Amino acid sequence: MLIQQTITKLQNLHLIGMAKGFDDQLSSVAAMSLSFEERFGILIDQETTYRENQRLKRLLKTAKLKFNSCVEDIDYQHNRGLDKSQMASLVTCQWIEKGVNLIMTGLTGSGKTWLACAFGNQACRQGKTVLFQRLPLLLEELQISHADGSFRKRLAQLAKCDLLILDDFGMAALTIQGRSDLLEVIDSRVGGRSTIVTSQIPVENWYGYLSGGNPTVADAILDRIISGSLRIPLQGESMRKLRK
């Protein structure tokens, strides 16, 4: 009865990892041969691991990544122009800590979104907050938010995450409002927050897509996204075709 009460108290204190570890030790012959200090140290490790796993689950759930991809599964066999030394540097996520942007361009199926989600997953594993957004849908949501008065709140949410993934840049025509909203989103993240932008449009053609009769806004967006950014121009055939 005393043992069950101890387990219940641990659970009530939200020490779930320790409660599970304590229960496991009771049925472990090997654990009985350990000293109190050793057994207690194992319980602390189990609680730490449990909390880290729970935090990772929360971060991944909030990130809403399109693919459950990870950096360990990056395909280097097919020639896509990936630089292994650059990829190794990106995996450390130091660029996120410095607030550097990452631009990935390439034809449809080249793996831009998959790779962006892999970096998002890696950032979550390092305790960073991530948010995946398809840019066309995000701009529609922001347009609606102007009507219901939630634009500033939504902008603040986008501004505070450590890594924002804007997928499918250039897939839909920009309205005047959409162009202005995109500038607000990018500007709110300058100076400390990183953004991944994926696009089928080469960077040199972005100005034509963004200008739409307003070169001032286009210049402002490009300056904030491109200045000091890292780039991965993906090459080769569609990965979907190759996998088939």
DSSP 71: G
Which tokens in the block code for residue 178? Answer: 């959409």
How many beta carbons lie within 10 A of that of residue 147, not counting itself?
8
Residue 34 has pLDDT above 90, yes or no: no
Residue 186 has pLDDT above 80, yes or no: yes
Rounded to whole angstroms, what are the CA distances from 64 to 57, 58, 68, 151? 11, 10, 10, 20
Q: Which residue has the tokens 């390439």?
A: 106
Q: Quote the pTM value.
A: 0.87
Residues 6+ apart with CB under 8 A from 5: none
CATH fold of 64-243, please?
Answer: Rossmann fold (3.40.50)
Across the chain, mean pLDDT equals: 91
Q: pLDDT tier at 9 (50, 70, 90 boundaries)? A: confident
The pLDDT tens digits for 140-155 are 999 999 999 999 999 9
Assign 75 to helix, strand or coil: coil
Domain range list for the chain: 2-62, 64-243
Which tokens in the block code for residue 63? Answer: 């990130």
Residue 243 has pLDDT above 60, yes or no: no
Which tokens in the block code for residue 153? Answer: 């709140």
Q: What angle do CA 238, 239, 244 make, to 5 degrees?
A: 105
The pLDDT tens digits for 57-103 are 999 999 999 999 999 999 888 788 899 999 999 999 999 999 999 99
